[in-house]
Structure formats: structure tokens, C-alpha cells
Structure 1
Amino acid sequence: MSQYIPMLDYYCNSLPLVSTAYASSERFFGINLNPLCTPSEVSYTLIPIVAYFEFLPIHRSNEVINSISIHTPYNEKNEQQLVDLVDVKIGQEYELVVTTYSGLYRYRVGDVLRVAGFKNNAPQFNFIRRENMILSIDSDKTNEIELQNAVKNAENNLMSFDARVIDYTSYVDTATIPGHYVLFWELNVNASSPIPPSVLEECCLAIEESLNSVYRQGRTSDKSIGPLEIRIVETGIFDKLMDYCCTSLLGASINQYKTPWCIKFAPHVELLNSRVVSSYFSPVCPKWVPGRKQWNNTN
């Protein structure tokens, strides 16, 4: 939810933003022992008595867990990779696996956590990302952190026009050849300072320049990825998306709803496409220098 921090700071006049606990619909997991810390420093101390916690290491050089779908019991053939709560290492990233009193056995929650330190002997964790959220066309893999940072870099082009991104999501459009990334942006725009199309095209390029070298190679050298596209949508469309998600048969709980940063469900894409007011493409290929591939955090 960190993309909303600037908006909250604006409307709350920099009042403290407090996250007290880490929980999911499956189980309460831990608490924030320093609730008045800045959002970037929030860490949660897991409570060992509420569940049995195990951790699946995230190997950046080889994404071993892609073959196992999340939200399922853990695959026993990979059992030797699991790490107990007391054996985690500071700085290492893990996917959380829980066994609960209510009957879940080695259930993969789908959250990636990084060990930030210890309180007595209990480890403390930063929430990093959701594991199952990946944009990919060819060999590229873009996770939510990388995309969020890229959008933040692109927003710098809007500052001189007193505009900002209210909300956004993305998806992979494979209807084109080659496929390309699409970002839906809802903007807060100053009517007296319209944004020229060239600036929004520069935003597309700024996002591409911020993505990893595997993506940029696919765009520039391999030509396996098409130009990134930004589609500007009507104001309020993300509220309509929330209404749809929470009222449809496949909907989510209103208490837990968060704008999905990556959408794959066709009705969601259709809803957003029905409210597009303009679209822009990256005008040129991003910079890329041949050499060893630099994989992102999902590899």
C-alpha cells in the first residue's frame, strides 16, 4: 500500500501513519512494536504461539518456487528448503509458510518477508511484496516493487504540471505482437495546466528505463517485447473496480480490498478499457548495454 503514502501525507498534514499488526484472513501473525516509526521502517514481530511458522527462502539467482502455486499446502518434495522461525537470517527474504490450529498445514500465504532484526529471540520482518504478482512476456519478470519504483520515477515528469497519479494498475497485453506492458493511470490534473502528450510519452519511457536489464534487452535487442503503453482512465474508475471486485461472485471482502497492481481477470481489464480516455506509447527503446543479464528480485 506504500503508493498511497504521499496522498495520505498530503491529506493528513503529515500525521503519523500507524500500522499496528500483520494479519491475513487465515491468521493473525504479528505486531509492530514501534507503531510510530516511518512507513519505510515498519517491521512486524511474529508471535510464535499463534501458529507454527516456517519460511521458504527466496533465491534471487534461481526462482525455485515458481513451480509451486501459492495458497496450497506446501509441496513435500521441497521440504528440505524450509527454514524454522529461529533459523532465519538477517537480510534474507523468505516466503511465509504457516501451520495453524484451525487445520491449515504448511499453507503458503504468498507474502515475501525480509528479516529486519530480532526482539529478544523473536525475528522481526519487513513486508516486501506478494509473491504471485509478476508481469512477464518473455524471460522478463517485473514485480510490484520494481513497477512501483518505475511509476514513481515517471511521476517526476508530471510535477511541473501540478498533476499526480491517484491510482494505477497494470496487465500484459498479448493481443499485440509482440506483447507489451499496459499501465492504467487515474490522474489528478490541474485544469489550468494540461499535460502535453509528449510528457506522457516520456512517462512511458521513464518507466521502461527504470525496469531491469532483462526487460530492456527484450525491448531493445531481442524485440520480444513491444513499447510500454499508458492508458489514462476516467476519474473514479478505480472506485468502480473496487465495487465490482467486492460485489461479483468472485469478489473480495471490502475490509481487505486493495487495488491489484497487476490484473489478469478479463472482466477487470474490460471494465478499465471501457473507461480509457487516451493512451500513449513509449516513443523509443530504453537504453540497454549488452553484457551479463542483471536479474531482478524475483529471480
Structure 2
Amino acid sequence: MLLLWLLLLLPLLAMLWQQRPSWLILLRHQVAWRVLAWEAACQQRKLEQSTLRVGQSQQQALTWCLKRAQSPYCLPRGITDMSTFRNQLPLTKTSQVQQEESKEELLPPASPQYHGEASLQATLLGLVTLNKAYPEVLTPGSSACVTPPSPWPGSVPWLRHALGRVSPLGAKDPRTLLLEALMFPGLRALEARTAVELLDVFVGLEADGKELAEAIASGKLGTPLPSRAAELQEALEQGPRGVMALNLWPEQPQGSYLLPPGVPFIELLPFKEGTQEEATSTLLLTDVQREEEYELVLTDHAGLTRCRLGDVVQVVGAYNQCPVVRFTRRLGQTLSVRGEVTDENTFSAALAQAVGQWPGAKLLDYACVESGILDSCDGSAPHYEVFMELRGLRNLSEENRDKLDHCLQEVSPHYKSLRRRGSVGPVKVHLVGPGSFRVLREALAAYPSSSFPPEMPRVLRLSHLAQLLRKRVIS
């Protein structure tokens, strides 16, 4: 009851103290963190209990999904048995789910009860973990909202005032929000609605940093701040540093993520690289083996589909009885013009090797297309085409362009064999202008069956998306 009263009073106190002296701002911040730490400790105990009793927790999650199922393809009413569910409901792929959803009317909004609790737990534990690893990030006035309706942390809205977010709220364009945020000398963290939008912000900051610094120096939004502009320019020259994802172990160099036993209901499909046969039997969280790879299968109550996401994870550890995983690849992101299979990992490794041989170049983003999608064979052998956005280089010599094809032959013997026989032509490399991939993501989000945030494919299968990048080629 005491916690409830504090939660009710904090928004009022935040409004009353908004224009108060700095000592009151610090007091508000300390009170907020004490309440947050107390509630986070409760959520930590819940996490410990659920991860120690994984089988029971997963059964509760599945029962919750089945009772609140909104899909017309539901199991017979009253069935909550896990074996019956897995035997009678077939596995589906993301593309199949999107096609079915595009034919159906929009479903009513999901009940926030279970998801709200999970969101609260993730928000609180995430904030506490981030504060332990990087305490300077969440000091008063150190974070800023840089996308127009950013709900984070949505489940505890009073925090956005109590923790002293520096940028003003309101429906403004991201560039203006970013410019206003950069004027604050204590800025340490940028907040966005989705990771994809945050990536666009950082890409834009790298591309337009000099222009933004000049706007701050000249006082475009008010008082000229030449010293702050100099600080910004110096930071940009040092290059990007820091954490781009949040998990329970943000200090680790490679992201590791806990798979919780709640909603959505999680299954794992064994994955073996290079095998033609697909596994048909899934495993539960307690059945997986360390170092093995699995494809994620999720079930939610909104669609009640056992959906194969196409994301492959490797089990790298355990948290109580729950697996800790690392994302390794995405299925379906493969290139094939002569029956070969060049997956995302193979191509990205070759591309990173090639970019390392281009003086001054830094890869910002890229996408691949099979030549048949663009009808660009022109009598030559089928080949791959790659569109990339670079920083530090606006033109490539033919010698440097050829390095990507040589690197790809080094990492893929099958591709090398096809190239030597002339069955596959050399990779064609195109540089696109700044902001091209932001435009591509906007086009993906506008697609009728697209998810939100839209998945960024490395291999484009639709001609109009490939043509969108082709129109933005600068070299």
C-alpha cells in the first residue's frame, strides 16, 4: 500500500518541483531511485522464483495464452495440456503468419495484465542493471528522448520526470529533438522508441555532426554555445563508443540474453548448419544443451501460432534453470543465384574483411540483392549486388570494389568454385547516399504485413525495395 501511495504521489511531486532549485531535483532523483530499487528487488525475487521453477512457469504462461486466445484457429476449449498443444498446433513461419494476418481483420488490443507485469519487470531490472554497469548514464539530466512519442519506460511513466530526462516532450521531429538534447553538457544517454530508430539517430549524428555542432555554436535554437559545440565536435572525432543493447549483463562485450519462462511461450527448434533435413520436434527451456544452436519458436495469445522467427541462438550459459543465449544468425537471409547458399554470416564476414582494406572507410549499413531481382544480368552471369552506406569514403576504385569478391571467395569455397567456372559473375558494389537505409526502413514499415519495428533484411526479395536503393546510388 505504501508503494502504491508513493507511485501516485511522485507524478504530482514531479510537476510541483519541475521549476524548483537543484537540491530539490537531486532529492526527487534520490527518492525515485529508492522506490525503484525497492520495487526492482521485488521483481528480482519474482524472476528468481520463475527461473528456478521453469517447467511450472512455462505451463502457467501457456495456460494464460490459451485462455485468452484471440485467434480463430484455437484448440478445443478447455485444453491447456502442453503435449496436446504442441502435437495439435503445427509450426508456422513468420511469412505465413504475416500473410494470414493481412487477410484478417485487426484483432482487438491485447489484455495488458500479463504483458504489463513482464514489461514492468524488464524495465525496472534493466534500469538497475544499467545503473550498476554505467552509473553516469542515469544521473539527473543525463538522458534525452530523441524520437517523438517515446514511451520508455512506459510501464513506470513517473520515472521520466523523476530521473530528470533533459529533452522536452512533444511531437517534434527527431533532428530537432537531437539538436536540443546535444545542447546539454551533462548528456550521457539517448533514448528512442525502438532500437532501429536509435540506430538511425546515431547514423545521422555521425553523418551530420559537423552541421549540428555549427547550429549549436551559432545559437540556432537560442543562446550561442561555442564551447559546447567544440565539445561535441571533439567527441565525434573520437568515434562511437558504448552499449547498443540492454540485457542483464551489459558490461560483456558480446550480448547475452536470458530467455524468461513467461509470455510469450518459448520453444526451441534444434538447428544444424549444413543439413537439409529440418527438425520437427521442439524443446522446452529446460531441455536445451549448452553450445548447441536453436531456432526460436514463440507463441502469444493474440494469434496463438507456434511461430518460427528465423532467429538462431546459441546457448552459452544458464541462469538458474533458464538458458542464456547469444543470437548468431537469421535464417532466410541467404543469397543463391546458382543453387549455392551464402548466408548472412558468411557474406558479412567477407564484407567486413573487404571494408578493412578500404582506407578511411567505415561501414554503416548494407543490403544485398540477387541480380535477377533487379533484372541486371544484361547477358552476363547471375551475380550478387550489394548496396552500402559508408562513412569516410564517397567513391571506390574498381580495384577496391573487386576486393569484396575476392574476400567472398576466401570465406566460401562453393562460391569460389562457381566463380572459377564462370557460373556466377563478380559481386557488384554500389555506394548509396546518407540516410538511404532510413528511407528503406520507412518503406518497410509502410508495407501492409510488416511488423513493428520492421525487420531489416540483409537480402531484399522485393523489386521496389531494391529499386529504392538503386535510385540513391552515388558511386
TM-score w.r.t. the length of structure 1 is 0.71
Give the one of 189, 207, 211 matched to 2:392.
Answer: 189
Pairing 1:130-141 to 2, within 5 Å after superposition: 130-141=330-341
**Which secondary structure does the structure 2 equivalent of 1:64 belong to?**
coil
CA distance in 1, matches of 2:362, 2:392: 7
- Which of 171, 178, 183 matches 2:369? 171
Distance in 2 (CA, whole Å) between partners of 1:218 and 1:151 is: 19
How far off its partner does 1:181 sit? 0.8
More helix by share: 2
SS at match of 1:146: helix
Distance 1:252 1:99, change over 3 A: closer
Corresponding position of 2:63: none
Q: Structure 2 counterpart of 1:164, which letter?
A: K
Q: Counterparts of 1:47-62 in structure 2 under 5 Å? A: 47-62=260-275
Mapping 1:194-209, distance limit 5 Å: 195-206=396-407, 208-209=408-409
SS of the residue corresponding to residue 83 of structure 1 reads coil
> Is 1:116–1:124's contact at 8 Å kept on the other side of the alignment?
yes
CA-CA distance at 1:252 after TM superposition = 5.0
Residues in 2 aligned to 1:240 and 1:153: alpha-carbon distance in whole angstroms: 27
- Rounded to whole Å, the distance in 1 between the matches of 2:451 and 2:297 is 22
Q: CA deviation at 1:134?
A: 1.2
Gapped runs of 5+ residues in structure 1?
Answer: 21-31, 66-77, 279-299
For 1:85 and 1:158, locate their aligned partners in 2 and report how far apart those are by CA, in whole Å: 44
Query: Structure 2: where are the runs of 5+ without partners?
Result: 1-194, 207-234
Counterpart of 1:289 in structure 2 is: none
Rate the CA distance shift 1:276–1:59 in 2: closer, same or farther, 3 A: same
Residue 234 of structure 1 contacts residue 275 of structure 1 at CA under 8 Å; is this kept in 2? yes
| AA matched with 1:200 | R
TM, length-normalised to structure 2: 0.46
Contact 1:155 1:164 in 2 (8 A): yes
Amino acid at match of 1:145: N
Cα shift readout 1:266-289 (whole Å, capped 9, x = no counterpart) = 1011111222233xxxxxxxxxxx
Q: Is the CA contact (8 Å cut-off) linking 2:401 and 2:428 kept in structure 1?
A: no
Greater strand fraction, Structure 1 or Structure 2: 1
- Distance in 2, matches of 1:271 and 1:14, equals 28
1:63 to 258, 272, 276: 276
Per the TM alignment, residue 198 of structure 1 is displaced from its structure 2 partner at its CA by 1.9
Q: 1:109 to 1:190 in 2, by over 3 A?
A: closer
Q: Which has the higher contact order (CA 8 A, sep 6+)?
A: 1
Deviation at 1:141, TM superposition (A): 1.0
Contact 1:157 1:203 in 2 (8 A): no
Q: Percent identity of the aligned residues?
A: 27
Distance 1:269 1:119, change over 3 A: same
Task: Describe the shift of the 1:117–1:106 C-alpha distance in structure 2 as closer, same or farther (beyond 3 A).
Answer: same
- Listed one character per residue, the Cα deviations across residues 228-250 of structure 1 (whole Å, up to 9, x for unaligned) are 11122233322222232233545
What is the deviation of 1:169?
0.6
1-side partners of 2:328 and 2:283: how far apart? Answer: 18
Other structure's SS at 2:357 match:
helix
**Correspondences of 1:1-299 after superposition (within 5 Å):** 15-20=241-246, 32-38=247-253, 40=254, 42-65=255-278, 79=280, 81-159=281-359, 162-174=360-372, 175=375, 176=377, 177-189=380-392, 195-206=396-407, 208-221=408-421, 223-249=422-448, 253=452, 256-257=453-454, 259-278=456-475
What is the Cα-based RMSD across aligned positions, in Å?
A: 2.9
What SS does the corresponding residue of 2:418 show, helix, strand or coil? Answer: helix
Tell me: CA distance 1:36–1:273, structure 2 relative to 1, closer, same or farther (3 Å): same
Taking a change above 3 Å as real, the CA distance of residues 140 and 52 of structure 1, as seen in their structure-2 partners, is: same
Rounded Cα–Cα distance in structure 1 between residues aligned with 2:264 and 2:450:
27
Name the CA shift for 1:234/1:36 in 2 (closer, same or farther; >3 Å): same
